[in-house]
Amino acid sequence: GQQLNQSPQSMFIQEGEDVSMNCTSSSIFNTWLWYKQEPGEGPVLLIALYKAGELTSNGRLTAQFGITRKDSFLNISASIPSDVGIYFCAGPGNEKLTFGTGTRLTIIP
């Protein structure tokens, strides 16, 4: 079945630093979604990408849909404490979303 691998698995950064993470797939997706999940909560949709090569921003977040359609990237600029959480990529298909393995972001005071 489809697998989405995210890297890095976890990140420890200082407030104000920029963050980059990526997601790779064993198969092609026509849409990429990025979610953030905080402890005890459901995932929150951050950005949706619909076209290969597309670059989309949402505030300090920027995501890109890879040209091969097998990968996507998420960048967070000037991180702040509320950015802490687990970031998941997800790809739709066959009536479901397939989620990546997640990247846990921790901000060091």
Partner 1 sequence: DAGVTQSPTHLIKTRGQQVTLRCSPISGHKSVSWYQQVLGQGPQFIFQYYEKEERGRGNFPDRFSARQFPNYSSELNVNALLLGDSALYLCASSLVTGLSYEQYFGPGTRLTVT
Q: How far is the CB of 79 from partner 1 (least distance, A)?
A: 22
Is 101 in contact with 87 (CB distance < 8 Å)? Answer: no
**51 binds partner 1 per the rule CB under 8 A:** no
**14 binds partner 1 per the rule CB under 8 A:** no
Phi/psi at 81 (5° precision) = -55, -35
Is 4 in contact with 100 (CB distance < 8 Å)? Answer: yes
**100 binds partner 1 per the rule CB under 8 A:** yes
Residue by residue, DSSP assigns 4-37 as EEEE-SEEEEETT--EEEEEEESS--S-EEEEEE
45, 55, 78, 80: which one binds partner 1 (CB under 8 A): 45
Is 36 in contact with 43 (CB distance < 8 Å)? Answer: yes
- Number of residues located near partner 1, criterion CB under 8 A: 24
Closer residue to partner 1 in complex, CB, 54/92: 92
**77 binds partner 1 per the rule CB under 8 A:** no
Chain residues binding partner 1 by CB under 8 A are: 4, 31, 33, 35, 40-45, 48, 88, 90, 92-102
